Structure 1
Amino acid sequence: MSDANPSRLSRLLAMVPYFLARPGIKVSTAADDLGVSEHQLQTDLEQLYVCGLPGYGPEHLIDIQFWDGYVSVVFTAGMDRPLRLTGPEANVLLMALNMLSETRGAVDADAVRSAIAKIEEAMGTTRRAVSADLPAAPAPPVDGVIRQALEDGQSLRITYYTASRDEVTERTVDPIRIRAVDGNSYLEAWCRSSEGVRLFRFDRIESAHGTGEVSQPPVEALHRTDPTDLGALTGELPTAHIEIDPEAVWLLEYFAAEPDDELSEEPTEPITATIRYGSPQWLARFVLGFGGRVRVRSDVDGVTSLIASTAKAARSRYGS
């Protein structure tokens, strides 16, 4: 008996050729082979009664008879052997698998490479996928720790770099699932310090280790249907009003900043804008990086004094 637990759809697709090759097989034996209970097998067989060819009259439907604990196939409706991929279907699947293999942490890389090799062998191709030929690069240690924590249902203690705040924090999280978005892998988890669902990008998790505690995210977090906002992974960001000299207006295209007034042409005078920032430290470094061409118009989170103290500390390093 196999330890695999196929989905009901894949089981139904394979069931007709399975019984066709084993006429008069016992229900109990078939249930063991297919890894289901006898009750589930009977439910599956009853489902097959209403499957068949277009037209869906009695003469078009799959006919499987089972009585006194035995099963036989009378009419297969063309499902005489397990379904096989067509050439175009296999090529599309190979493209998807190769993309997955390049997405860190989203899947088991060894399993993907094995699937690629098996599909190409089944297709009888003369070439081999580059990713299947080259030795696999070792995955970063945190990837395995995260995947193992998900499998074991264990909470994690992670060290995480938040780009929007330009800071590194320690967090205890309850893993929910791994998501692949725009070529990046994210751990979706309940963050205990933020008390909410957050996404943690794999390549920004500097370290991770299991806590030994059972992962227990709230029920509503496990069954949420709304997509997690990738634009605010750690909550809504505050805003600040800044003044920008004409030669630095280009920053509006690269940072989360919006001009207070519509710009009809290249400005010749300083303009004002609203910018989102992750932390006062990040905002201070941002302003200082423009060498006086960007200024904070209102003191938020004490950033004005922070800018002054940071600049003073920087100048002192160059003192005699």
Structure 2
Amino acid sequence: MPSLVDPDERGDAPKPRPVTAPERLFSLVLALVATDTGLTKADILANVQGYRQRFLIAGPNGSLERQFERDKDDIRELGIPLETVETPDDPGSNHHLRYRIPKGLYDLPADVTFTPDEVSLLKLAGTVWREGSLSGESRRALIKLNSLGVDSSEPVLGYAPLLRTRDHSFDPLSKALDRTEVVAFLYLKPGKRKPLRRVVVPRALVQHEGRWHLYATDEVAHAPRTFLLSRIVGAVKVVPAAFPSPVTDAANDVSAGTAADSARALAELEELWASNVAHVLVQPGTDAAVRLGARQSGIPATDPASSPERVVHFTDLHVLADELAAFGPEVFVVGPPALRTAVTSRLLAVRDAHSPDLPVGAAGAAPRRRLTQSKTQPATTAAQSRIASDQLTLLLSLVPYLIEQGRVTVTEVAEHFDLPPERVRSLVSLIALSGIPGETRQYLHGDLFDILWDEFELNDRIVLTHQVAIDDSPRFSAREAAALIAGLQYLSALPDNADTDAIASLMAKLTRGASAPPTQLAVARRDGGATRALLQAALTSGMQVEFDYLNARGAQEHRLVDPLRIESVDNDWYLRGWCHLREAVRTFRLDRISDPRTTSRARSMHAADILLPDTLFQASSGDLDVRLELETAALPLLADYRPERSVPVGTGGHTRTTLRVAHSHALKRLVAGLAGIVTVLEPAESRRVVAEWAAAGVAQYTDAPASEE
């Protein structure tokens, strides 16, 4: 059996085997779970694997102590309940402070169990966060879920949901929310040119109408306020030595910080959405007519397909103005007057910034709205921390799984945890060489995990024969549980998940299985409508579909499609399928589809036979290369277009980059919707197309009578 190699003072002794960060963290967790009375910092540094190799008995250990402080933070981030115990004889002394992990608070409660159907739904909820700052939390939550050894039932066929968190302030706000910290940031209110400093206590992060909002207690007004994350300017900073003041919401007589905060925030946004109404006219048969028709609210016209009238509810006037400006001359705003003014000013800014009389590169004269300035982070350190956290989660999850299985092959473990077999072998070898210092502080055989090495090395089979300290699945962290709960809320719009009682029960299990109350994170329900339900049914039955489709160029076409996958991105729904008209895989926006119906013909193409790209939109040889200049903080807004050759301008506040777009029709919508943020530099033809699009939009309002609303 392989054995640990300890340091030896003899000159001819072999060099000690280097201890990796995941191994050090794993050894620390084992040691702290195994102790009832706790270990002092000196005990840990002198005896625990990964520290003792660098510990100097009579020398300075400052760097090692700082390493231990960072490791404590990493462990707590994973939801592991690290406690401190004061010595009765010396209260308040850090020198004799003892550390431990109570096993009862570490283990997943015995009454938190999941059925195969629930596991399937949770795995789908976890994939919702495959992009953005919560992707790590959801990934680790699913690893812990795998430790239970419950195989999932068949997943929802052909569905790939996605929630994005592209606002720079999301990650620091979510961490401040989890830690109950006071934070400060600059906030640019609608219609204002100068941002104001706000000092708040975050209470919930909620997504409504596809955009993230912060619900917080304003520490100056001592009242709840809601902030749109896209209007937070600059960095979010923790206010040092500040403690949240107790606040009671007078309207609800409920103390701030309860689990009702996210629900209250969404309810207030929904009420605001219902009270704000816009009246617009659209050109029949255009992209605006189809897409705004899908959002038609109130009492629709007799024939929405042909009538120019649209009634649209909205939460934020300036966000809606961005959307309507992108439609250019296809939309005329009747009211309210403030919305009309906002759309007109955006179109004017785009027109003037792309005027042929304006030299290329001088577009900065156009008024620009402020955006959050991105901050360069030390990517290497962050990436190493994520890798160590994922590895530690795998180790802590693999142990209870192996105990439960008794005898299992490497291949079976690899399939269950979705890992390469070599990774599984490496993890098992590491576990078998890990343990606790024991009474002798020497990591003797009885203090280590052990396996049947012959079975492992000769038959690729894992049999755990001795376990140390842990034997149950770990609890979810507050952020891990919150990520899965928000993912479930997002999925609840699916007809397959219409059983709200079952979803509520699953959310309650996640709450009970978390090491702390889940971070208040919520997503408003967004229904894909009848079109989504019809396409999902066709996917399940394996039948072809046909429909009329308004493409991005504004042309109406009839399509016959083999449905392969339904995808959602925030508030938008898409169909990926084999188009028989184009004889290739194509992506269709559901709000551009009309008159969909299932045919009596089975589909000829299947997702298993076609490699679907990871991104919704792919480049082609006929694409147009366009050079743009934009605020550096706005780069995430172009992520779907995969910007290339990005170069900072001046001090880095602006960036020049190249996009590949299918045609100028898509470009002019993109630029008009980001007025004052994005400017086309070249080619000249693209600048002209954008300028003419904006000018045509402005022309509608030149001689139009003022709105009486």
Normalised by the size of structure 2, how large is the TM-score? 0.26
Counterpart of 1:192 (choices 575, 580, 583) is 580
C-alpha distance 131-49 of structure 1, shift in aligned 2 (>3 A): closer
CA distance in 1, matches of 2:405, 2:700: 80
Aligned to 1:110: 498
- Equivalent position to 2:148, from 6, 10, 14: 14
Contact in 1 for aligned 2:574/2:590 (Cα 8 Å): yes
SS at 1:171's partner residue? Answer: strand
C-alpha RMSD over aligned residues = 5.6
Instruction: Provide the TM-score with structure 1 as the length reference.
Output: 0.51
* 1:170 Cα deviation after fit: 1.9
Residue correspondence of structure 1 range 121-200 to structure 2 within 5 A: 121-124=509-512, 140-162=529-551, 164-200=552-588
SS in structure 2 at match of 1:178? strand
Equivalent residue, structure 2, for 1:274: 689
Per-residue deviation, residues 245-265 of structure 1 (Å, max 9, x unmatched) = xxxxx99949x9958899xxx
Q: 1:237 aligns with which of 663, 670, 673?
A: 663
Asked if 1:94 is matched to 2:470, the reply is no
Deviation at 1:287, TM superposition (A): 5.2
Cα distance between partner residues in 2 of 1:148 and 1:195: 23
Q: Is the 8 A contact 2:548 2:558 kept in 1?
A: yes
Which structure 1 segments of 5+ residues have no match?
A: 31-37, 240-249, 263-271, 278-282, 294-320
Distance of aligned partners of 1:112 and 1:101 in 2 relative to their CA distance in 1, 3 Å threshold: same
| Counterpart residue identity of residue 598, structure 2 | G
1:264-302 CA distance string (max 9 Å, x none): xxxxxxxx812499xxxxx9xx95993698xxxxxxxxx
The answer (yes or no) to whether the contact 1:62–1:77 under 8 Å persists in 2 is no
Task: Describe the shift of the 1:83–1:58 C-alpha distance in structure 2 as closer, same or farther (beyond 3 A).
Answer: closer
Match runs of 1:65-84 below 5 Å: 73-84=464-475
Render the CA deviation track for 1:79-98: whole Å, top value 9, x for unaligned.
Answer: 52234312332123223333
Residue equivalent to 1:296 = none
When residues 215 and 155 of structure 1 are mapped into structure 2, their CA distance, relative to the original with a 3 A threshold, is farther
- Equivalents in 2 of 1:188, 1:111: separation in Å? 27
Contact 1:159–1:207 under 8 Å retained in 2: yes
Question: Given the alignment, which residue of 582, 603, 607 partners 1:214?
Answer: 603
Amino acid at match of 2:530: P
* Structure 2 CA distance for partners of 1:92 and 1:64, relative to 1, 3 Å: farther
SS in structure 1 of the partner of residue 605 of structure 2: coil
* Superposed CA offset, 1:27-57 (max 9, x none): 7xx9xxxxxxx99659879986653596752
Shift of 1:156: 1.4
Structure 1: distance between partners of 2:699 and 2:603: 47
What are the ranges of 5 or more consecutive residues in structure 2 without an aligned counterpart? 1-114, 124-141, 150-398, 436-447, 457-461, 619-639, 642-660, 666-671, 703-709
Structure 1 range deviating more: 85-94 or 218-227: 218-227
Paired positions, count? 241
Bigger relative contact order (CA 8 A; separation at least 6): 2
Hey, what's the Cα distance between the residues in 1 that align with 2:580 and 2:558? 11
Q: Counterpart in 2 of 1:310?
A: none
